Amino acid sequence: MEGLSDSTVDNVFTNNSPYAMDITLDAAPYEDESKIRWDINDPVTDSDNDNNPVTFSLSAGANADVAVKGDDKVTFDGTALLKDGEATVGRIEVTRTINVPVINNLELSGSVSSAGNSGKLTFTLENTGDVDVELRKIGIIETTTTAEYVSGGGSLFNANDGTEYVTDWIPIDNNTSDSTQREMTPKPVLDHQSDGDTDSMSITFEFNKFRDPDSRPANVDMRGEDVKIELTVKNLENGSIVGAPVDLCNGRCNF
């Protein structure tokens, strides 16, 4: 395991044994699991925003880049099962502390542009940090309404040119795990202000539509209402992937 104590380099897990390894990383019992997300980039999978604990496999001689989202440091228990076919021929257990990449230079702000009684909400995201970022996933943590999800023939669009970023419905759930966040395709990029050009620093989006299936009409009136979202964001300077909560305030934002 290389790079665990240096947040400026990739953390690399290498299998130096002649056997395959099934590896499990599990945060220490005193860590707040709700804040921890793993990003495993190995020869087989390229996953991000995985809940704790996380499991992956390495063939003999293979390696994987491992990143974690959490507080400044995350202590974890690592278990590696050495496999010869289906048989387990060995077991390695370690406890290590991994430094989380410094991301104070990544900052997003949100503002509501318009809201109506049809369930639509238009909002702008602006990159107010000093690195370019790629928006990878979006989840809705909560609102000040009774809405349960967003869906209306597509869920998230570019309000200016109609580009559709999310087709699937988006649940409103305070557990912003992989199962409740939605992939953004294409993945928009927000540049930071480096040359005075502010045009590419922000994008205006539209949620279509907030709905409560138990109400009539089902479309929720979003006028004067607030929304809290969480984005999975890639820092295009150092490659780190982090969660970025953003408040979209059209009222008092009393969550």
The verdict on 242 and 122 lying in the same domain is yes
- The answer to whether residue 2 sits within a structural domain is no
Position 1 scores a pLDDT of: 59
Which of 99, 134, 159 represents a domain boundary (last residue)? 99
Position 175 scores a pLDDT of: 66
The verdict on 138 and 242 lying in the same domain is yes
Which of 64, 99, 134 represents a domain boundary (last residue)? 99
DSSP three-state, residue 199: helix
Is the distance from CB of 119 to CB of 107 less than 8 angstroms?
no
Sign of the dihedral defined by the CA atoms of residues 244, 248, 254, 255, in that order:
negative
CATH number at residue 24: 2.60.40
What distance in Å separates the CA atoms of residue 41 and residue 240, rounded to the nearest whole number?
12
The verdict on 150 and 210 lying in the same domain is yes
Q: Along the 255 residues of the chain, how does pLDDT read in single tens digits?
A: 554 555 555 578 899 999 999 999 998 888 877 767 787 874 444 455 567 888 999 999 998 888 777 666 788 899 999 999 999 999 999 998 887 665 446 788 999 999 989 999 999 999 988 788 999 999 999 999 999 999 978 899 999 999 999 999 999 987 655 667 899 999 999 998 765 566 678 999 999 999 999 988 899 999 999 999 999 998 887 777 888 889 999 988 877
What distance in Å separates the CA atoms of residue 230 and residue 181, rounded to the nearest whole number?
8
The verdict on 116 and 178 lying in the same domain is yes
Is the distance from CB of 166 to CB of 182 less than 8 angstroms?
yes
Sign of the dihedral defined by the CA atoms of residues 188, 230, 243, 251, in that order:
positive
The domain in which residue 52 lies consists of 11-99
The verdict on 127 and 238 lying in the same domain is yes
- The answer to whether residue 1 sits within a structural domain is no
Position 221 scores a pLDDT of: 96
Which of 66, 99, 132 represents a domain boundary (last residue)? 99
Is the distance from CB of 125 to CB of 190 less than 8 angstroms?
yes
The verdict on 128 and 212 lying in the same domain is yes
DSSP three-state, residue 237: coil
Looking at the structure of the chain, the number of domains it has is: 2
The verdict on 92 and 114 lying in the same domain is no
Residue 86 has φ and ψ, to the nearest 5°, of -90, -10
Position 79 scores a pLDDT of: 95
